Amino acid sequence: MSAHNEEARQLIGAGPIVLEAGADAAGQRLDQWLAARLGPDMSRSRVQMLIKQGAVRIGGRQVEETKRKIAQGDSVSVDMPEPEPAVPQGEDIALDVLYEDSALIVINKPAGLVVHPGAGNWTGTLVNALIHHCGDSLSGIGGVRRPGIVHRLDKETSGVMVVAKTDRAHKALSEAFADHGLTGDLERAYLALVWGIPARPTGTVDAPLGRAADRVRRAVVPQGRDDARHAITHFTVVERFGEQQQEFATASLVECRLETGRTHQIRVHMAHIGHPVIGDPEYGQAFRTKANRLPEPLRSKVKAFPRQALHARLLAFRHPDTHLTIRFEAPMPWDMEELVDGFRKL
């Protein structure tokens, strides 16, 4: 092991570290140079994530561009995260299993359940539940933190998810989700209760997504920006609420189908066209006062609703072993159904 890597191994997880760029570093990309200096305990993708999260500084100034060129004499500091806890353990958490065989398991994820361990949620996740339920059959190809996970739903989004139990299934499903069904049989549909009524019964939002100014949320960004990612959402209005009256705020139940699968894509895209998901704490803040324009008891129900009203109702895909297309649907959870029923009475 080189002296550089030995130094990095001792420092990782110990808080901020400072590295000096020598003559051999001049002209190298920041992410490549840091990955080499930090050694085998820190992958290049992890280094890139740290840079994008604002954890890296050059000469005391925050740098968020992974391709930034290093100059001789640069002083690079890295705010290292706390060491992650041990490999997730199985926990006896009830699962709503829609289907299971030797290759995969399909579940109806409830709102409030985090998919995989992460900062602030090291236990009580879907992964912990799956490890307990599936035992040694759970695929590890997704990494020890995300065994078997090929796609995810936000913590407060409910609905259908598939998890791989073998490496073969993980590879096949990951490829299907990677191209979002463009070359195979993959179908995903979500139900979203949104503010207002779109002008057209169907539509497409084609707008690239990147990091918002707070570096935590996502936002529609210019096409040419470094972090811009292609994102397309197709929507269809399923029901309109309050359309024939002017006294109260209106709403719609919308089905969204993804052509791409970016983080928070539906939530950002619907907010972008002026119809944010009701209850969305991150992208619907500007519409919170609309609840005041509703009659009781609906007004109180909307104000008390603790999450975004978004549900993954449908998932269809080609089984990696039988090659037959299988299809799963999950009804809206009771709290979202109750909210929709309230709007039907407008």
Active site positions, annotated: 154
Nearest alpha-carbon partner for 151 in 97, 123, 115, 105: 115
Nearest alpha-carbon partner for 286 in 301, 272, 300: 272
Answer whether 19's CB lies under 8 Å from 30's CB.
no
Answer whether 98's CB lies under 8 Å from 108's CB.
yes
Q: CA–CA separation, 346 vs 344, rounded Å?
A: 6
Determine how β-strand 218-220 pairs with β-strand 310-318: unpaired
